[in-house]
Amino acid sequence: MIRIDSLSKSFGTFEAVKNVSLEVPSGSFLVLVGPSGCGKSTMLRMLAGLESPTDGTIQFDGKTVSDGAGPWTIEPAKRNAGLVFQSYALWPHMTVAGNVEWPLKVAGQGKAERTARVNEVLHLLGIDNLGRRFPNEISGGQQQRVAIARMIAPKPGILLFDEPLSNLDAKLRVEMRSELLRVHRVTQATSVYVTHDQVEAMTMATHVAVMNGGSVEQFGSPQELVSEPSSAFVATFVGTPPANLVDAGLIPAAHPLGRKGHSGRFMFRPEDILVSRHPDPASIEMDFAEISPLAGRSMITGTRNGLRLTAVADGSFRFTIGDKVHFLLPPAAAACFDSKGKRA
């Protein structure tokens, strides 16, 4: 449904997006995830038609909608795509029903058809009783539902979300994640969702593109990213908690990996690391940093000289700041990365 070939975007001498190529099947839920400034919002704006690429092409359902070589672009209203902004962007002088009806009116639909569709999408989003209210009379979560209803009212083939949940509290974010996935299933539209929150990415996506510095570090399913990260950045960005990376030179000589003269960095999964108060020649001594419960287990973190290790262990532990904690790494690493962060 969406094909991106060698897509780049520059602002003067700054390259916001660098040579990105992706293919997204119809009906998928693609999440663009990465730290602030990685280029994910610029990618979404190019998909929406709000920015033109410097180079490369974008195709929707086999039709080119942007071509950096032209340069030319099909205007946003003619792309069969809907967009929800982080700020909701509701018309304050229009009622909820009026906001949802507006794109249908612009499309030239008749009054009866518009009314029926507005009632349908308000019911789908569970806000039937808000039709006559104005945006300043409803909560942030309700405003977000109105923005989603307005987006899906014209039945676009592609849904674009620009960090739509960032203004909501933690509990409401979880509820709205489920709501967005339900809308995605009902509409069967191909969705592209931008977030810096990797938990959102891993729980919602069928496909994930991890972005860093304007490039896509890895593209695949959430399971692939966690089990087979292609770079050190991906390994430490995805997962709850993410994997640990340890420089080869920091591994104790008594450990199997410390006796083989390795270089680079080794990846160890938190659930494979053992934690103890008692020293072991093969363990790494750390200063206790924090502990938190995680689904009936304990997530324990230690720091030392710039190294940060997190283990997930069974049972309850009592540590206080200043305690020495010993992290025993498994005999074999889950992966190894070279000095440039590429998987060896």
Sign for the pseudo-dihedral over CA of 65, 66, 69, 72: positive
Q: Is residue 189 within 8 Å of 206, Cβ to Cβ?
A: no
Residue with tokens 């962007």: 89
Alpha helices, DSSP H, located in 125-187: 140-152, 170-187
Read off the pLDDT of residues 118-165 as tens digits, 9 standing for 90 and up.
999 999 999 999 999 999 999 988 999 999 999 999 999 999 999 988
Distance between CA atoms of residues 145 and 50, nearest Å = 23
Read off the pLDDT of residues 1-12 as tens digits, 9 standing for 90 and up.
899 999 999 999
Q: Which two tokens stand for residue 154?
A: 């014209």
Q: Which pLDDT score, from 0 to 100, does residue 77 have?
A: 87
Distance between CA atoms of residues 168 and 226, nearest Å = 27
Please give the C-alpha separations between residue 313 and each of 171, 217, 344, in angstroms, as whole numbers: 26, 30, 28
Q: Which pLDDT score, from 0 to 100, does residue 149 have?
A: 94
Section 169-174 average pLDDT: 87
- Is the pLDDT assigned to residue 261 strictly greater than 90? no
Q: Which pLDDT score, from 0 to 100, does residue 344 have?
A: 87
| pTM exceeding 0.85 | yes
Under DSSP, the state recorded for 258 is G
Section 301-310 average pLDDT: 95
- Is the pLDDT assigned to residue 335 strictly greater than 80? yes
Read off the pLDDT of residues 192-204 as tens digits, 9 standing for 90 and up.
999 998 889 999 9
- Is the pLDDT assigned to residue 175 strictly greater than 80? yes
Task: Cite the residue boundaries of each domain of the chain with CATH code 2.40.50.140.
Answer: 244-337
Side chain identity at 22, as an amino acid letter?
L
Among 115, 47, 43, which Cα is nearest to 82's?
47
Section 245-258 average pLDDT: 92
Q: Which pLDDT score, from 0 to 100, does residue 322 have?
A: 84
Task: Cite the residue boundaries of each domain of the chain with CATH code 3.40.50.300.
Answer: 2-237
- Is the pLDDT assigned to residue 26 strictly greater than 90? yes
Q: Hey, how many other C-beta atoms are within 10 angstroms of the C-beta on 343?
A: 17
Q: Which CATH class is domain 2-237?
A: alpha beta
Q: Is residue 255 within 8 Å of 329, Cβ to Cβ?
A: yes
Cis upstream peptide for 241 (omega within 30°): yes
* β-sheet bridge partners, residue 215: 212
- Is the pLDDT assigned to residue 237 strictly greater than 90? yes
> Hey, what long-range contacts does 249-254 have (CB within 8 A, 24 or more apart)?
250/284, 250/307, 251/284, 251/329, 252/281, 252/282, 252/283, 252/284, 254/280, 254/281, 254/282
CATH number for the domain running over 244-337: 2.40.50.140
- Is the pLDDT assigned to residue 303 strictly greater than 90? yes
Q: Which of 55-64, 148-157, 258-267 has the lowest mean pLDDT?
A: 258-267
Distance between CA atoms of residues 182 and 27, nearest Å = 13
Total length of the chain: 344
